[in-house]
Structure formats: structure tokens, C-alpha cells
Structure 1
Amino acid sequence: MSARGTILLVDDEKEIIQLMDIYLKNEGYKLLKAADGLEALELLGRHQVDLIILDVMMPRMDGIEACMKIRESKNMPIIMLSAKGQDMDKIAGLSIGADDYVTKPFNPLELVARVKSQLRRYQQLSGPQRQDENEIVIEELVINISTHTVTVEGQEVQLTPREFAILKLLAINRGIVLSMERIYQEVWNEPFMESKNTVMVHIRKIREKIEKDNQNPRYIKTVWGIGYKIDRL
């Protein structure tokens, strides 16, 4: 990684790639470039990336789908680019896990400033708490992926394998509302088949073990009519 960090720029417009290549490199960042979401995912599998600038409209895999895929396992900042400036388009981008939204055409200096702001915020929030690559730390909740252990305020709690899988899924996708259908399909690895009660029962059991007040949960929040989420810090 370079002194300032590595940025993945995903856009099928060569002019934007060339323009931001100049501005970002002048600021000391290393730049990786992709023309669509599939190429971006391939690069993420081979490189350590600190921030992603992701265009919405692209061939093969667009930015919305790419952002959702990235958020399944990564939590670095994502800045969305789009020619669509309507509020609902911005809300859609932010609701699937993007951290910021910039409308085209944009001032390159403004985008660089947003890159710096997002990296600074991410490093402040994740730096002191991220003890190793296998731990997810959310306030007093610590999830160790390698040992499949969970502690709350330093006390270990016993979760079943499925309870652990649900908690890990929500923690990895922090800030994103996951439907009961998606939770069931990813944890049980089978079609949903109207299994709402199964997910609800598991969520209730997890809360009983990690929350002090089930009526006002600190970690797993219910988004009525949609699903569950763990808030971003």
C-alpha cells in the first residue's frame, strides 16, 4: 500500500478514469482501475483496497449490484458516482451500503476532498478497535470469526452455529437492512419458503444472549416490514 492508501476507481468512462488518475496520484494515492463491477470484484480479490469510487451505470455489472456484493464481505468506504441527481437515487445508493454520493459532472477537487474525509473517518472509527483481521468490534460486542466466539463487555456468550452465522452476517453488513429472506437463504443455504418465524426465533435468542434490554436492543435493530440490521458506528 502507498503512503496515503489504495483507491479502486470503477467507471466505464475513460475520461473520468484519466482525470482522477492525475488528481489522486498527485495526492499520493495508489490507484487501481476497473471498467465495471465484475472487474472491480476481481481486483478486490487480489489487492488490499482502502476506498472505492464506484459509478452506478456500467455494463456487465452496475454499481448498485457491485456495491451489494462488496458489502457482503468488505467494509471500506464506498463513494458512488452517478449522473442521476434525484434524492431517491441518492437514497437508494446510500441504503445499500454506500458512504457518500457524488453527482456527475463533478469537481475533481471536491471528489478528492470527499475521499480524504471518508478515509479519515474510517481510520478513526476502525483503527483503534480493529485488533486483528478476524475480529469485528461493535462497541462492547466482539465477534471473532476464526474462533467462532462472541463476547459482550468481556464476557463470552454461547451461540449456536446458526446464531453465530446470523450475527456475523449482520455485523459484516453493518448499516445495511437485511431481509428475513436474505438472512435465511444465506445462513440456511436453501430457498426461503416462508420461513419468517425461523429467522425471528433465532434473532430473539441472539438478543437474549447479547442484549441487556430486548425491548430496546443496542445491537440488532428491527426495521419493521423489512428486516434487521446492526447500525454503523
Structure 2
Amino acid sequence: MMEPLILVVDDEKSIRSFLKVSIETQGYKCIDTDNGASALMLAVSHNPDILVLDLGLPDMDGVDVIKKLREISQIPIIIISARGHEREKIKALDAGADDYLTKPFSVPELLARIRVILRHKAFEKFPKEIESAVFQVKDLVIDMDKRRVWLGEEEIHLTPNEYKVLVLLAESHGKVLTHKYITEHIWGGTISDDTRSLRVCMGNLRRKLGEDPSQPEYIITEIGVGYRLIDE
């Protein structure tokens, strides 16, 4: 079995070297570069399993790298950036990034995010006809054929929109979904105050899942950006 290949793109040599060593100690292969043009070339020529991308590159903005890459590839992209403002996070995620970590970040967390993406990629290799229609994480079970949800042995009764939001999160579990992405998929962008409607819907959904807002067990809020359902 071939080792996963990770492409790291950052203009700071010390960060690239540190990440390369950290990634390779996990048994993965790693290649790196310091600019956007080279990143695009390596992404096409080497077809890495994951791209770890800094937004502040010397030749082009990282968001432009994401947009150009998304025209030709669906390689999962994890952003690592000092840009911590929520608008920057939303811009990158809407452009096609799959995850976002703000510098300084924890290397163990980055490695955990990499493992999540690799698990998703491994799962996607199975033919659709043998995939289970039942999704489970911890005590939460969603039967997508029967449109029924359980928490442990108790069946949870959700409204149509609550169910749709939960399934959308489950389909991308472990990934951050922006407010815009969720509202467009659930409401189609047709309501005037879709962000408030999402907040109300999410609050009701969490209450039915018995979540403590200060210590969520299933649905994690990425403040100012969106939500993600835990992976395991």
C-alpha cells in the first residue's frame, strides 16, 4: 500500500521543514514548496492526497491558488494561515478549501485533521452500492433510508429542516461547512434572514441531541465561519 503524499506550501522555510518532519514521522510522504505557481505545478504532476496551504505566498494569494486548483482538481486542501479574521476563513472555505487552521496552531491537531481527510478518502473508494445507508458517530445514528434518527436507544424526532441540516453535516463529517454553504443547500438562499434561521434551527437541533452549548458533543461551532459534525 502506497503511503499518502502531502504537499506543504508555505513561504517560511522553517515552518515547511518542521511540518515535513512532523508529517513524515507519521509514515506519510511529504513534498514542499514556497510559492503558488510551484504548488499548482506539483499538485498536477504529483497528485498529492492532501494540500496544506498557507495563504500568504510571495507570488499569489492563497485563495487564488485554491480557485485555480479547483478548476482542475478536487485535492483536499487544509489552510494554515495567520489570517484569523472570520471573513478570511469564509473566503478560503467558499473558494474550495476543506479545512482551516489559524497560526499558531497545534501540529497534533493538524495531523488529526489530515487523518480525518485520509479516512474520508479511503471510505470514498468503496462502491456506492455497498455503502451503508446508516451513519453513526458515537451514540448518534442516522438511518438515511428510513429518515430516522436515534441517540442511543431513544429515537429523536426532527423537523424536515433539522433533519436536512444534520444529514448535510453527516455527509461531510469532520469538515467545516460555512453558514453560506448550509443555508444555500437547505433554504436555497430564498429567505431574507437565512443566517438567523440557521442559528435557530441549529439551536433546536442541539437541544434535541442533548448538547451542552459550552461542551458540544456532536456539532462543533467554528465561530463566525460555520459548523462541523465530529468525525469520531
TM-score tier after normalising by the smaller chain length: 0.5 to 0.7
Aligned-partner SS, 1:33: strand
TM-score normalised over the length of structure 2: 0.54
2:88 maps to which residue?
Answer: 89
Point out the more displaced range, 51-60 or 85-94: 85-94
TM-superposed deviation, 1:42: 1.2
TM-score normalised over the length of structure 1: 0.54
Quote the Cα distance in structure 1 between the aligned partners of 2:127 and 2:83.
36
2:105 maps to which residue?
Answer: 106
Question: 2:5·2:48 contact (CA, 8 Å) conserved in 1?
Answer: yes
CA offsets 1:49-87 (integer angstroms, 9 cap, x no match): 110001001111221000011111111210011101122
Aligned-partner SS, 2:11: coil
Quote the Cα distance in structure 1 between the aligned partners of 2:42 and 2:189.
34
Question: 2:20·2:31 contact (CA, 8 Å) conserved in 1?
Answer: no
Flag structure 2 segments of 5+ consecutive residues without an equivalent.
129-176, 178-184, 191-232
Alignment of 1:172-187 (within 5 A): none
The reply on whether 1:14 has 2:8 as its aligned counterpart is no
TM-superposed deviation, 1:129: 4.1
- Of 115, 124, 127, 2:125 maps to 127
1:37 maps to which residue?
Answer: 36
1:74 maps to which residue?
Answer: 73
2:45 maps to which residue?
Answer: 46
Aligned-partner SS, 2:45: coil
Alignment of 1:180-195 (within 5 A): none
Question: 1:7·1:32 contact (CA, 8 Å) conserved in 2?
Answer: yes
Quote the Cα distance in structure 2 between the aligned partners of 1:20 and 1:41.
19
Quote the Cα distance in structure 2 between the aligned partners of 1:129 and 1:75.
19
TM-superposed deviation, 1:222: 6.1
Quote the Cα distance in structure 1 between the aligned partners of 2:16 and 2:59.
18
Percent identity over the alignment is 37
CA offsets 1:20-49 (integer angstroms, 9 cap, x no match): 111100001111111111010111222121
Question: 1:77·1:122 contact (CA, 8 Å) conserved in 2?
Answer: no
Quote the Cα distance in structure 1 between the aligned partners of 2:126 and 2:189.
30
Quote the Cα distance in structure 2 between the aligned partners of 1:4 and 1:115.
13
CA offsets 1:156-201 (integer angstroms, 9 cap, x no match): xxxxxxxxxxxxxxxxxxx9xxxxxxxxxxxxxxxxxxxxxxxxxx
2:169 maps to which residue?
Answer: none
Which aligned runs of 4 or more in structure 1 are off by greater than 6 angstroms? none
CA offsets 1:73-118 (integer angstroms, 9 cap, x no match): 1112100111011222111111011000000011111111111111
1:64 maps to which residue?
Answer: 63
Quote the Cα distance in structure 2 between the aligned partners of 1:77 and 1:45.
13
CA gap of 1:129–1:74, structure 2 versus 1, over 3 A, is farther
Give the number of equivalent residue pairs: 140
TM-superposed deviation, 1:123: 2.6
Flag structure 1 segments of 5+ consecutive residues without an equivalent.
131-174, 176-217, 225-233
1:116 maps to which residue?
Answer: 115
